[in-house]
Amino acid sequence: MTPTLPTLLVLDADPPPRLGRLTGRARIEHTDAAGLAGRLPAADVLLVWDFSSRAVRDAWPGAGPRPRWVHTASAGVEHLMCPELAVSDTVVTNARGIFDQPIAEYVAALVLAVAKDLPRTLELQRERTWRHRETRRVAGTRACVIGSGPIGRAIARTLKALDVTTALVGRVPRTGIHGPGDLDRLISRADWVISAAPLTEQTHGMFDTRRFGVMQPSAVFVNVGRGGLVDEDALAEALRRRWIAGAALDVFATEPLAQDSPLWGLPGLIVSPHMSGDTVGWRDELGSQFVELYERWAAGRPLRNVVDKKRGYVPGH
């Protein structure tokens, strides 16, 4: 008798994942957000390829069985986590490891661009204006990186290679990592404050009016974590009042950023469309990572990148 293949349900996005290696090893079905609720009961595994969708949060509380394993092709899991999933026996994994170095390189590029005034150089070139200026030296400056997971650690390593003195802040203090109690002291003397933390109940809105007020006037704030970490109104006020020298946001509370958002025109703010981790071939890397995890799951081996559903991230951060 031919054994029944596990059903792999893919919440699709364009382009779809390349799962050819699983031919004959899984019955692969595809769905959009509208069809997810009706197909969840028959699925053994759910691949959340559309990692910008909140469809899982809406569909999961319904009746019937639920997949034994959910994998999201993203580092964050807040888009899919709901109370019913959090208390279930379903294992959740994420794409930890794919975006670490690309995001670190992007942060380093932002630091260098701001220090060397490259945005203004490009503006002056378009205006055909020759205007000599002095720029900041990066070596010898201080950075505080908030988020001690793989992405935060990669950012710290990359900045240290530029001779930036870097402090790393995590949820729990340990060797080489500061705890939350040190955060205000560290950001008060940092030239670069870099947010790379996961979005949890504890971190939501952590960069608010008080925190921007703690930073020194020469500081630049960079967010490559999650938009919900930042009170965007407070950041706008800090930039308008020159409490800080500038900022760069790659993530926002609502994406895509509305055309009429005041953030577009804020002085000293660089806006990018959630692209810091997306390098050429990143989707293929995400697909390959999932296939490798599926092979482990099918063989009964322990999965990697297992998310602590109560904390909202993979332990060890």
Q: Which residue blocks in 33-74 are alpha helix, DSSP H?
A: 33-39, 55-59
- Helical H segments across 41-199, by residue range: 55-59, 83-86, 100-115, 118-127, 150-161, 183-187
CA angle 307, 187, 231 (to 5 degrees): 65
Looking at this protein, which amino acid is placed at residue 254?
A: T
In whole angstroms, give the CA distance from residue 197 to residue 153: 11
Tell me the HSE value of 37 on the side-chain side, using a 13 A CA sphere.
10
Active site residue 226: yes
Sheet of 91-93: strand order equals 27-31, 7-11, 45-48, 69-72, 91-93
CA neighbor of 290 nearest in space, from 41, 32, 104, 96: 96
Which candidate in 178, 211, 226, 317 is catalytic?
226
Q: How far apart are CA 40 and CA 75, in angstroms?
A: 22
Q: Which of 29, 84, 255, 292 is catalytic?
A: 255
To the query of whether residue 127 is one of the catalytic residues in this protein, the response is no
Active-site position among 274, 283, 304, 311: 274
DSSP state of 180: G
Quickly count: other Cβ atoms within 10 Å of residue 62's Cβ.
Answer: 13
Q: Are 68 and 91 in contact (CB under 8 A)?
A: yes
Pairing status of strand 69-72 against strand 91-93: parallel
Place of tokens 């990066």: 138
Largest CA distance in the chain: 79
Cβ within 8 Å of residue 66, ≥6 positions away: 40, 41, 60, 85, 88, 90
Task: Enter the tokens of residue 271.
Answer: 């806006």
Q: List the catalytic residues.
A: 226, 255, 274
